[in-house]
Amino acid sequence: MKNASLFLAGFLVACRWFRAGANAAPSPGTTPRRLPPVNRPDNFDKSSGAFTGGWPATLHLAHLKKSLGVVALLITLVSISLTSCEEEDKEVMPFALTSPEITTTLTQAQYANAFGGCTGENRSPALQWQNPPSGTQSYAVTIFDRDANGGAGFNHWLLIDIPLATKELRQDAGNFSGAKLPLGAMQTTTDAMLAGYVGVCPPVGETHHYVITVYAVREPSLGLAKEALPATVKAALAINSLATATFTVTATH
């Protein structure tokens, strides 16, 4: 809208400039230029059967040059407007992360089944992302409980080196076996000292918030080992990420 208004304003100014130049009288001491005859009905001589006379109005050469300048100005304004509109269209499509199975709360499938008294299925949620920024070479995904350990948090899943062609993870991609991962992706050690998705299980009577994040990474690989600690992985992501997309869900026990 802003660029359209700018273009319209420039167009109106250019038109007024053109009209003023076309209607102005020649400067004193100069000779008007006459353009070639124009075949118009009011120039037709019935007795001779031919068109006669010249252009009904004269334009000074300087005014013609000014008109050409106006045309150049309009072309420039159109080019700027179209370029800006393309940039705005790109801004309307942000890097986004969603899940086909969860929106605001985790399901029983994402709860732990081996500790804390929870009896879930220990399956990581299915995830999808789109519109990565230019320059992205790979992705990483993390799930972090921001309320655990007195607010220090707990890393439930760290998945790095996801190939650029991958735009989704199916449910249970975080299986400890690694068999359901995209080719080339690698799970690193969580705060439970296990490489894979660790199901959630907040203390009885509490509701925790789980931040799910996908990172657009500028390198094909972070070059880390599977045993890399969560702090090391998070530091590497902070340095090498072009953008992140995230959403938060809750779980209650």
Checking if the pLDDT of 28 tops 90, the result is: no
* Interval 25-29 mean pLDDT: 56
Q: At what angle do helices 2-23 and 61-92 cross, to 10 degrees?
A: 170
Other beta carbons less than 10 A from residue 125's beta carbon? 24
- Cβ-contact 242, 203 below 8 angstroms: no
The CATH T-level fold of domain 96-252 is: Phosphatidylethanolamine-binding Protein (3.90.280)
142 three-class SS: strand
Torsion sign across C-alpha atoms 21, 26, 27, 30:
positive
> Worst-scoring range by mean pLDDT, 47-56, 96-105, 111-120?
47-56
User: Mean pLDDT score of the chain, rounded to an integer?
Assistant: 82
* CA dist., res. 49 & res. 47, Å (int): 6
Phi, psi of 215 (to 5 degrees): -110, 135
Q: In this predicted model, which residue has the larger pLDDT, 138 or 63?
A: 138
Torsion sign across C-alpha atoms 176, 179, 180, 184:
positive
Sequential DSSP letters for 107-162: -GGGB-SSSTT------PPPEEEE-PPTT--EEEEEEEETTTGGGT-EEEEEEEEE
Checking if the pLDDT of 102 tops 80, the result is: yes
Hey, where are the domains in the chain?
Answer: 2-92, 96-252
For 143-174, how does the pLDDT look when each residue is reduced to its tens digit (9 = 90+)? 999 999 999 999 999 999 999 999 999 999 99
pLDDT > 70 fraction of the chain, expressed in percent and rounded: 64
Checking if the pLDDT of 109 tops 90, the result is: yes
For 173-201, how does the pLDDT look when each residue is reduced to its tens digit (9 = 90+)? 999 999 999 999 999 999 999 999 999 99
> Worst-scoring range by mean pLDDT, 55-59, 168-172, 210-214?
55-59
| Residues in a beta bridge with 139 | 162, 216
Amino acid of residue 181: L
Other beta carbons less than 10 A from residue 54's beta carbon? 12
47 three-class SS: coil
- For residue 121, give both structure tokens: 């299925």
pTM of the model: 0.67
Of 125, 118, 114, 123, give the one whose Cα is nearest residue 252: 118
Sequential DSSP letters for 214-243: EEEESSS-----TT--HHHHHHHHHHHEEE
Band (114; pLDDT cuts 50, 70, 90): confident
Other beta carbons less than 10 A from residue 181's beta carbon? 20
* Residue pointed to by tokens 């109005």: 57
Which contiguous run of DSSP H or E holds residue 78? helix 61-92
